[in-house]
Amino acid sequence: MIEQLESDKLRLTAELASSKNQMTQVMESKELVGREMAQLRSLVQASETDRQLLQQQMQNLRAVIEYLKDTTIKSVDEFTDKLKLDLDILVGNQ
């Protein structure tokens, strides 16, 4: 009977130690997952900030392109008008 109790005690002590080890591993894994989740949240936030910045830069570039297009068209129109005037003057002098 005593031997059985001592055997049960040893077995239960080993099971308890194993359970404690498993609990420690679970807790460490949980902490690791928590840290990794925080890093992922940080990366997602940084990515969103970068996306917004790129979107703003694209809008700015669209505005610059539109301005340059309008300026180019205006310059070409002015140059064409001047050429026509110069041509009319040249044709009129001959």
pLDDT tens sequence across 21-77: 999 999 999 999 999 999 999 999 999 999 999 999 999 999 999 999 999 999 999
DSSP tag of 1: -
User: DSSP letter at 34?
Assistant: H
**Residue 76: what pLDDT?**
97
How much is the average pLDDT of 72-85? 96
Please state the pTM of the whole predicted model: 0.59
Angstrom distance (rounded) from CA 67 to CA 62: 9
DSSP 94: -
C-alpha dihedral over 79, 82, 87, 89, to 10 degrees?
-170
Note the pLDDT of residue 91: 87
Residue 94 pLDDT > 70:
no
